[in-house]
A = this chain, B = another copy of it.
């Protein structure tokens, strides 16, 4: 009898343990509750229903990519795991990227359910934790490193810089690419500062507050314009960010626009890492008219960021040291980039809207306007520079700013 009680007590303990495990799997916020697939040592091109890489390895047979399996050797950092960042992370995970580093300090809310990826039962969890669970289940071959903090604080910035420099696939090596999927000016400027200092190539992405336009941008420090050289450009309504922070006011968003921006961002990442197609320096998306402007921008020699200016000097030296043939090729490529398809940019932003912008506004091609403006400081009001219809160049404006 005593034995029986002991056995029953053991059984109760066992069951309680199992139940707790089941519950934690279910409530882990992942929605992905086991039953996932086993790890795969080597990517195979074999065409069987059980091979999750068959359709990707087929890119080799189709003549698109010569070395698809190289995807496993890359580490990509994603800052911001919201509407664009989460889908970006999922696409790279499904493509079999080597390692993902995710940075976000926000929590999942039901108000995020109008965009892809997160599910209602994850509400309240940290975005990076919820994302890691889901992504690990989708592809256990990918390595994940997540950081639940705000990169813009001094302390976290140092750690962020350290992980960009050392968090590569092999610890101690830098990551291969940083992707900015954040929704505010300060975080973009922070990523820009870090990447200029480290000479780290990165890609910017953004969606307008009215949800119907977005863009991606490739920034190679010293070679293309950085975020401080000029506010990034996009065909978008020009609303000061601060207006979005007011109580009871929030930006609109759509799963469509964010899905398209994540799609063109990760496509650019794949082309950049696996060396196929034309990598875009800038690609915009105007959903109202199905208009996709492309362009490229040279860095500003008077950029406020001294590390940008330093990178520009180094890039100049590098180009000067190349055999002449290669330099010419490079120039041609840039021209090619500029207006390959003869696409004309057409204005959709009124002069009035442009006047209402704050911060330095560069001399832009017709129809291109700034997506982000520098938020006005609230206490010590900085004198505002607005451009009405002047022919002033970016350099003139920057010089003016410096003399204030």
- Contact flags (1/0) for A37-76 with B, using CB distance below 8 Å? 1000000000111111111101101111000000000000
- CB contacts (< 8 Å) of A297 on chain B: these are none
Closest B residue to A212 by beta carbon equals B64
Q: Look across to chain B and name the residue whose beta carbon is closest to the beta carbon of A346.
A: B341
Number of copies: 2
Q: Are A263 and B256 in contact (CB under 8 A)?
A: yes
The answer to whether A26 touches B19, judged by C-beta atoms less than 8 angstroms apart, is no
Q: Name A3-62 residues within 8 Å CB distance of B.
A: 4-5, 8-9, 11-12, 15-16, 18-19, 22-23, 25-27, 31-37, 47-56, 58-59, 61-62
The verdict on A27 contacting B35 (CB below 8 Å), with A63-B210, A267-B256 known, is: yes
Bound: A397/B133 CA distance, A? 56
B270 touches A290 (CB 8 A): no
Contact with B along A195-209 (1 / 0, CB 8 A): 000000000000001
Inter-chain contact B36/A119, CB cutoff 8 Å: yes
Contact call A256/B266, Cβ cutoff below 8 A: yes
Q: Is A94 part of the contact surface with B, judged by Cβ < 8 Å?
A: yes
Instruction: Give the residues from 244 to 282 in chain A that come closer than 8 angstroms, CB to CB, to chain B.
Output: 248-257, 259-260, 262-264, 266-267, 270-271, 276-278, 280
Contact at A292–B292, with CB atoms within 8 Å? yes
Cβ of A209: which chain B residues have Cβ within 8 Å of it?
62
Find the B residue at minimum CB distance from A33: B26
**Interface check A329, CB cutoff 8 A:** no
Greatest chain B CB density within 10 A among A35, A210, A253 is at A35
CB distance from A83 to the nearest CB of B (A): 9
Closest residue on chain B to residue A62 by CB atoms: B210
Q: A64-B252, A254-B56, A263-B259 are in contact. Are A110 and B278 (CB under 8 A)?
A: no
Residues of B within 8 A of A387 (CB): none
Q: Chain B nearest CB: distance from A210 CB in Å?
A: 4
10 pairs of residues in contact across A and B, judged by CB atoms under 8 Å? A1-B5, A12-B12, A22-B26, A49-B109, A119-B138, A256-B267, A257-B263, A260-B263, A292-B292, A343-B344
Residues of A whose CB lies within 8 Å of any CB of B are 1, 4-5, 8-9, 11-12, 15-16, 18-19, 22-23, 25-27, 31-37, 47-56, 58-59, 61-64, 87, 90-91, 94-96, 109-111, 113-116, 119-121, 123, 137-139, 209-212, 248-257, 259-260, 262-264, 266-267, 270-271, 276-278, 280, 283, 287-292, 294, 340-344, 346
